[in-house]
Amino acid sequence: MNDMIRALAGDGVTGRELEHIDCYIRPQMGLFIPAESSCGYPLITAAERPSYMMIISFSAAASDDFHYSAELLSPGIPGEANGRYHYYCLMTAADYFEERFALYSEELPVFAPMRFEICSDILKALNTFAFESGKSMMNSDITLGAQSEIITHWIIRSVLGETMDMRAISDDYSIARAQHYIELHYGSNITVAGLAGLGSMSESTFNRRFKKETGRTPIEYLIEVRINHARTMLRRKSLPVTEIALRCGFSSSAHFASCFQQRTGLTPSEYRSLYVE
């Protein structure tokens, strides 16, 4: 058995338990992906696991195409043995994770577990990590080290509700500038005319190019950004729903609730109740 696997998964793990698992291992991080059947070890054994473990269960995907449910467990905290097959299991060395978490917060909570949402960008990074680990490319130690840093920071930001979804950022400067403006001013009164003016375009040209680049109209994109920020505020539980609606640029709490339920399948209050501190 690979010593790096034991360092992450614990001395009790056996080759038989990982027989049908594809393992992509670096000293500070290991990615376990079922190839033929579910692996019981990452989900249920915890007493000897010295690492932090994140499980992305694809059967528990969120209601849109770009966000997924994940759970993070501290060392020694057991997962649930629920027969999951389609999942990614990521183990991160405790000292490595804790050093990076300390850059964001003085207090490290016990994740027992903590459930949160991640964007599809983390999945892209994990797939890149797996690809390069399997290829044994020149200088892969350097590039995989860099990818481990990115993945770990993105996970911590997601846990803290500060995720950044890069999937739709355009390489067209005029469209990207409008996207950046929306991210910075999502709570303000934003108009298509104003966004088009940033790129010195007519509204019709801007609408056409924006939808071609992002797959959404400018207004659809704006509402999506507002909903994503509202999700973060709802999880923090520090503001009433009405104030969140206004801070996120919605004209009323009724309009906010309608848009939120349309995109998530839940009312704002129902969504908030899913996240227990």
Kindly tell me the sign of the dihedral angle through the C-alpha atoms of 243, 248, 254, 260: negative
| Residue spans per domain, the chain | 3-159, 173-273
Joined together, the tokens standing for residue 210 give 């924006």
Which architecture does CATH list for 173-273?
Orthogonal Bundle (1.10)
Fold of 3-159: Jelly Rolls (2.60.120)
In the prediction, which pLDDT does 81 show? 54
- For the chain, which residues score pLDDT lower than 50? 1, 41, 43-44, 46, 60-64, 277
Q: How much is the pLDDT for 92?
A: 95
One fold for 3-159 and 173-273: no
Q: Please check whether residue 249 is in contact with residue 186, taking contact to mean a CB–CB distance below 8 angstroms.
A: yes
Q: What letter would DSSP give residue 62?
A: -
Residue 185, helix vs strand vs coil? helix
Supply the pLDDT for residue 227: 92
| The pLDDT value given to residue 41 | 47
User: Over the stretch 154-170, which tens digit does the pLDDT of each residue have?
Assistant: 899 888 877 655 555 66
Residue 161: phi, psi to the nearest 5?
A: 80, 20
Dihedral over Cα of 83, 273, 103, 125: its sign: positive
pLDDT, residue 176, reads: 80
Which position has the token pair 């930001």?
157
Name the residue type at position 49: R
pTM for the complete prediction? Answer: 0.62
Indicate the pairing of strand 67-73 with strand 87-93: unpaired
- Span 78-116, pLDDT tens digits: 766 555 557 888 999 999 999 999 998 888 989 988 888
pLDDT score at 5:
83
List the alpha helices (DSSP H) in the chain. 3-9, 40-44, 94-101, 120-135, 140-159, 173-185, 192-198, 203-214, 218-236, 241-247, 253-264, 268-273
